[in-house]
């Protein structure tokens, strides 16, 4: 029910408004009558009415002063002002102060009913809109997560719908320069990390270093699997991975009984559209595959692959890797062949090609720059190896990627 307060120093006017109209028929209640502006202010604070019908000329405090003081109290109410013919200047001032209606005395009941009921309907609509907005604000994080999960899982593919949903859900994330981090843990029973723990880890990472920006979104894909959207800070991928891995491994060590070798972290190349999230996550997962297989077998191989990833931009040799791990090269080569069915060189080349493919989709990199970043100083030799593995030259691969993005 809409609450109305009447303020008028003429007793018969206030009583007439209250008693000669069946307000309850219009879902309206006259909560009280005040006979001067000061009393009106006190009642406004007490009742917080939806509408105040007030005279202008009153003793102690006039209607305009009362309106000003009520505004200062931040009471959400609307005003209907009553005045005589000789108070036109007052009326203009009242309208300038946001008064909803101005009626001349004597006011006919029919006219007053029309003004009050119209204002009451407006207030009801505003309250409903506020209620919906409040509900959306409270529920928005839930719907944002549902939407982003569906994009990540390739359940929403319509580009226009995705863009509209981002705006409608007010998702504050820069989709013009982001990466997707894939985090997986092989464990039994309950999730080894809660989504809150993953969020806390990335907050710490963002505060401690320059590799991960302050804005990120964690999406739980399933049991012990997460996709994390992070801002691209223009840093080298291996450094970002190292920081994230170290933080998550520190969290695992704190759990003591959990084996850190069962954790795998990978990262996609830079993306610039929200709808590329699914492809980015799949890309990151592919980079986990070798590490996941290794994690189930030999720690030495896992460490060797980590070293390859960290030094992929260098012209490293098998001897370099073995030396860094304090192992013999022959023993390490034997482990690779035994556990993975591949030589160390084959694994290193596969890793270089995967990283090169990620870099080539970014138009800011030239082919020779990509070659250097994956450890090849001879661009022609890099092109030969790339074509052998991918079936096309690095330049053709990059061109095809640009065309596919343009089509999107």
Which pLDDT tens digit goes with each residue over 264-311?
888 888 888 898 899 889 888 877 655 554 444 466 787 788 788 888
Q: Please state which architecture CATH assigns to domain 2-126.
A: 3-Layer(aba) Sandwich (3.40)
Its pTM stands at 0.50
**Cα 241 to Cα 212: distance, rounded to the nearest angstrom:** 10
**Which of these, 251, 241, 135, lies nearest to 196 by C-alpha position?**
251
Region 235-239: mean pLDDT is 69
Domain ranges in the chain?
2-126, 297-408
User: Taking every pair of C-alpha atoms in the chain, what is the biggest distance, in angstroms?
Assistant: 108
Place 374 in a pLDDT band, splitting at 50, 70 and 90. very high
Q: How far is CA 158 from CA 11, 145, 171, in A?
A: 66, 18, 17
**Cα 253 to Cα 256: distance, rounded to the nearest angstrom:** 5
Residue 87 in this model has a pLDDT that exceeds 90 = no
> What is the pLDDT, as a whole number, of residue 199?
86
**Cα 79 to Cα 400: distance, rounded to the nearest angstrom:** 65
Residue 63 in this model has a pLDDT that exceeds 80 = yes
> What is the pLDDT, as a whole number, of residue 201?
86
Which residue has better confidence, 297 or 122? 122
> What is the pLDDT, as a whole number, of residue 198?
86
Residue 220 in this model has a pLDDT that exceeds 90 = no
Q: How far is CA 274 from CA 154, 161, 279, 317, 383, in A?
A: 11, 11, 10, 39, 31
Cross-strand bridge partners of residue 2: 28
In the CATH scheme, what is the code of domain 297-408?
A: 1.10.10.60
How many other C-beta atoms are found inside a 10 Å radius of the C-beta of residue 330? Answer: 10
> What is the pLDDT, as a whole number, of residue 91?
64
Region 12-33: mean pLDDT is 93
Percent of residues, the chain, with pLDDT higher than 90: 30
Residue 38 gets which letter from DSSP?
A: H
Q: What is the mean pLDDT of the chain?
A: 84
Q: Are 63 and 37 in contact (CB under 8 A)?
A: yes
- Tell me how far the alpha carbon of residue 281 is from its chain's centroid: 18
**Which of these, 310, 294, 200, lies nearest to 250 by C-alpha position?**
200
């Amino acid at each position: 029910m809409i609450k109305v307060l009447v303020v008028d120093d003429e007793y018969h006017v206030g009583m007439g408004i209250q008693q000669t109209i069946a307000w309850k028929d219009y879902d309206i209640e006259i909560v009280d009558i005040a006979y001067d502006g000061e009393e009106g202010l006190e009642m406004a604070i007490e009742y917080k009415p939806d509408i105040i019908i007030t005279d202008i000329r009153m003793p102690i405090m006039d209607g305009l002063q009362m309106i000003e003081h009520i505004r200062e109290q931040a009471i959400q109410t609307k005003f209907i002002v009553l005045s005589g013919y000789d108070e036109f200047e007052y009326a203009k001032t009242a309208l300038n102060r946001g008064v909803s209606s101005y009626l001349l005395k004597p006011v006919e009941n029919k006219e007053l009913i029309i003004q009050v009921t119209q204002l009451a309907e407006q207030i009801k609509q505003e309250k409903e809109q506020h209620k919906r907005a409040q509900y959306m604000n409270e529920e928005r994080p839930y719907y944002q997560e549902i939407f982003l999960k569906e994009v990540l899982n390739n359940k929403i593919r319509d580009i226009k719908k995705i863009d509209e949903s981002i705006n409608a859900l007010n998702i504050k994330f820069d989709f013009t320069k982001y990466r997707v981090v894939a985090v997986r843990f092989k464990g039994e029973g309950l999730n080894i990390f809660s989504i809150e723990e993953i969020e806390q880890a990335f907050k710490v990472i963002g505060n401690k270093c320059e590799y991960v920006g302050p804005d990120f979104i964690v999406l739980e894909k399933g049991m012990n699997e997460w996709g994390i959207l992070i801002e691209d800070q223009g840093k080298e991928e291996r450094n970002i991975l190292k920081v994230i891995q170290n933080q998550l491994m520190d969290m695992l060590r704190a759990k003591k009984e959990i084996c850190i070798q069962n954790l795998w972290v990978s990262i996609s190349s830079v993306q610039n559209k929200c709808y590329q999230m699914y492809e980015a996550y799949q890309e990151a997962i592919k980079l986990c595959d070798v590490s996941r297989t290794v994690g189930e077998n030999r720690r030495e191989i896992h460490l060797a692959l980590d070293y390859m990833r960290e030094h992929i931009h260098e012209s490293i040799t098998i001897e370099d890797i073995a030396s860094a791990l304090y192992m013999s090269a022959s023993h390490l080569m034997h482990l690779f062949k035994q556990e993975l069915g591949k030589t160390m060189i084959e694994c290193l080349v596969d890793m270089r090609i995967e990283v090169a493919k990620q870099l080539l989709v970014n138009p800011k990199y030239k082919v020779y720059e990509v070659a250097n970043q994956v450890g090849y100083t001879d661009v022609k030799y890099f092109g030969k190896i790339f074509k052998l593995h991918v079936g096309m030259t690095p330049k053709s691969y990059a061109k095809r990627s640009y065309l596919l993005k343009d089509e999107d």
